[in-house]
Structure 1
Amino acid sequence: MPTLGEVVDLVHGWYPPETADDWDAVGLTAGDPDADVRRIVLAVDPALPTAREAADWGADLLLTHHPLFLRGVHGVAESTAKGRTLATLTRAHCGLLTAHTNADHADPGVSDALARALGLRDARPVDPSGRPLDKLVVFAPPGDADPIREAIAEAGAGRIGDYDSCSWMVTGEGRFRPLEGAQPAIGRVGELEQLAEVRIEAVLPRARRAAVVRAMLAAHPYEEVAFDVIELADAGTASTGAGRVGEVDETTLGEFADHVARILPPTARGVLVGGDPDRVVRRVAVCGGAGDFLLTEALASGADVYLTSDLRHHVAGEFLETGGPSLLDVSHWAAEWTWLPELARRLGEEWGDTVEVRVSTICTDVWQARR
């Protein structure tokens, strides 16, 4: 069976923490990384009901979409909601792990799961954004090129899609003069040196920058190493990013809203419809969670309807006046819950029978009744 640390590494491999928004708080919140994990509960919210469910079931980990500590707190006394939740988990020796906007942006991720649940075809990001990348460029003697390339690959450089150890090299001519106090690996102090060198290039995740540079310097024979680290721009062609937009069989807004209501877990609020129920719908944009930040991109996507949660009154009203997509506002909890079964399947494929995974069906939507 895996340890908690191994589960964290697996989840972070799927949903890299560095892809989370800078305001977010993701990762391991509580628990001993060396503890064994036999049972995992998946939930949208780290709320007291889901913490009690995990504790009562004997779970070793509660893995949630929303963070418990998104903003700073001054204490975790059990007189507070966060304190009660944390204490319930701690007494049960149950860890807490969060994958939030890093799971939102991933492929596959939260909005992918929502798009698949609703039957969208050829879904792609509404706002594409790739994992932040750097390029390392370093110059070295030809005989030292292979050890340097191997060292930076082991540190995380040169991974592109389903390939690793990717790098590029070309031969040129280097020139330098060692000054007094230098201890050159090649050449003599005070003499101008000119020799063949290779230029090595490799891309790397920005989060691995320090590790890759350290590995390169350790493998390099020179006393002073000439190298560049270049931050790469996002080309906008990534399969990751915010929201998803895809195609559906031709229907109407009213019929599609009925379809959404049947597919998503039932909640008191149901599905709110903004727009003409008879409008023809062929293209649908979705965003799990609070998605009014994506309205401009949803408009540009050519969608006939944009489905998300927590739309504000004035913002939604002004958006509908643009003549762009109609709006469907659904429960924040229900939309993001669609991700949990997919996450459970992935964990099952990884750990098999060694780990039991339960998807919580406790509705933690804020609105529990309607009159």
Structure 2
Amino acid sequence: MPGTDDDDAPTLREVVDLVHSWYPPATADDWDRVGLAIGELTEHVHHILVAVDPAPSVAAEACDLDADLLLVHHPLFLKPVHGFTSETPKGRTAWRLMDVGCALLTAHTNADQAVRGVSEAMARVLGLTNLAPLVPAPAEPYDKLVVFTPQQNADVMRAALAEVGAGRLGDYEHASFTTVGEGRFRPLPGANPTIGTVGDAELVDEVRIEVVMPRGARARVVRAMLAVHPYEEPAFEVMEMADTGLSETGAGRIGDVEPTTLAAFAQHVAEVLPETVGGVRVAGDPDRPVRRVALCGGAGDFLLETVRRTDADVYVTSDLRHHPASEHLEHAQHSGGPALVDVSHWAAESTWLPVVAERLRAALGERVRVTVSTRRTDPWTHLYR
């Protein structure tokens, strides 16, 4: 709802920036549509409702609660639309939110892969430990710059490199490594040496300075280095650093559970996830030992080939289709592979809602009320046998 000029509540822009700092839109899949779908960025936010789906019932809940922002996992407009009329379900949802001034923000595949995102939240609820992504996201590409400079120039050089972003490692900056050594050279005719004389061999006390930098900053950092280097022909190296594959973000999660059986583990899954009509479906020997679990919040049959190459005993996901699941089991019977546990898409992803709600409360404090939706948007209503 609109606030006053002296309103202490954050603006929508501030909340969007906060959520995007946790779940960067750039990490979403190319086909996805994430970010702010509805809203005026200068309005203040007093009440946030978090939900899995921007369903009509959830939009009604947001309106009833006087929420200023509806933060959802699934996009309202994933496919292109040509209008926002009240003649379509999505149009009616959009109009209902806009009519009361409630913004709509989506964190979808960018939240699936993130630390404290959907798959990680699901893994924590299921009791997994020693978590790692099933498919680690590519790390931001980094380079290493090595430059050799006279010792008296070392402080100036380190400061200049840090000024343009080199030496930033996580929550640390101005990170560098320096070793002392001797530089040797002989200026040739035509040179204009800062130190030494043309034709004479020179020995100089120098240092080797090493810093890392984002690859996109390479040219900027090299220019800064050249600008403060006293030599007309500085000696330096730029090396591309390899991705270690240790990213904490990425698709799915894999981790450990206390030794159990497939039947007991599936029962545990059914007990800790919200109950749905579809329940929990299992493919595999009920007595199979289970120690290692792979999972993917939401639809996860795209990872079936990946999980076959892991040491997982069971793979938990949603929306497993007949042919991919059958082919996986045929491979598993012949060459080994995990059993399958198929759960409700909504139930799996609802595990993220308390996580993001708590993050919002911790970051925004008492200025903003945060509510987890009570609407169950699993589409299935009855099961007949």
The alignment's TM-score, normalised by the length of structure 1, stands at 0.82
* Alpha-carbon separation, structure 2, partners of 1:108 and 1:193: 57
Q: 1:357 to 1:231 in 2, by over 3 A?
A: farther
Is 1:79 equivalent to 2:79 in the alignment?
no
Number of the residue aligned with 2:198: none
Number of the residue aligned with 2:171: 162
1:158 Cα offset (Å):
4.2
Out of 234, 237, 254, which is 2:246 matched to?
A: 237
Number of the residue aligned with 1:336: 349
Number of the residue aligned with 1:120: 128
1:218 Cα offset (Å):
8.8
CA contact (8 A) 2:178 2:207 kept: no
1:133 Cα offset (Å):
2.7
Greater CA drift, 248-257 or 58-67:
248-257
CA contact (8 A) 1:169 1:201 kept: no
Number of the residue aligned with 1:299: 308
SS at match of 2:70: strand
Please show how residues 1-371 of structure 1 align to structure 2 within 5 Å. 1-135=9-143, 137=145, 142=153, 145-146=157-158, 148-153=160-165, 158-167=167-176, 201-204=211-214, 209=216, 221=227, 233-321=242-330, 322-323=332-333, 324-371=337-384
1:192 Cα offset (Å):
5.3
* Alpha-carbon separation, structure 1, partners of 2:239 and 2:370: 42
* Alpha-carbon separation, structure 2, partners of 1:102 and 1:253: 31
CA contact (8 A) 2:276 2:344 kept: yes
- Please tell me the residue identity of whatever aligns with 2:270: A
Structure 1: tracts of 5 or more residues without a match: 174-190
* Alpha-carbon separation, structure 2, partners of 1:231 and 1:69: 39
Q: 1:2 to 1:163 in 2, by over 3 A?
A: same
CA offset digits 1:260-314 (Å, max 9, x no partner): 1111111111111111222221111111011111112212221111000111101
SS at match of 1:362: coil
CA contact (8 A) 1:151 1:219 kept: no
Q: 1:200 to 1:332 in 2, by over 3 A?
A: same
Bigger Rg, which one: 2
Q: 1:360 to 1:215 in 2, by over 3 A?
A: farther
Greater CA drift, 76-85 or 351-360:
76-85
Number of residue pairs aligned between Structure 1 and Structure 2? 349
Q: 1:102 to 1:355 in 2, by over 3 A?
A: same
CA offset digits 1:197-250 (Å, max 9, x no partner): 99774323x7xx47x96798699859xxx9999875532111221111111122
CA contact (8 A) 2:157 2:225 kept: no
- Please tell me the residue identity of whatever aligns with 2:29: D
CA contact (8 A) 1:152 1:213 kept: no
CA contact (8 A) 1:42 1:360 kept: yes
- Please tell me the residue identity of whatever aligns with 2:246: T
- Please tell me the residue identity of whatever aligns with 2:358: R
* Alpha-carbon separation, structure 2, partners of 1:286 and 1:306: 5
Q: 1:146 to 1:329 in 2, by over 3 A?
A: same
Structure 2: tracts of 5 or more residues without a match: 1-8, 184-189, 195-205, 229-233
RMSD: 3.2
* Alpha-carbon separation, structure 2, partners of 1:37 and 1:104: 25
CA offset digits 1:297-352 (Å, max 9, x no partner): 21222111100011110110110122311101111111010011011111111122
* Alpha-carbon separation, structure 2, partners of 1:275 and 1:11: 39
Q: 1:130 to 1:158 in 2, by over 3 A?
A: farther
1:160 Cα offset (Å):
2.4
Q: 1:126 to 1:354 in 2, by over 3 A?
A: same
1:108 Cα offset (Å):
2.1
The alignment's TM-score, normalised by the length of structure 2, stands at 0.79
- Please tell me the residue identity of whatever aligns with 2:82: H
Q: 1:74 to 1:255 in 2, by over 3 A?
A: same
1:361 Cα offset (Å):
2.2
- Please tell me the residue identity of whatever aligns with 1:46: P
CA contact (8 A) 1:148 1:216 kept: no
Q: 1:194 to 1:334 in 2, by over 3 A?
A: farther
Q: 1:303 to 1:331 in 2, by over 3 A?
A: same
* Alpha-carbon separation, structure 1, partners of 2:97 and 2:222: 43
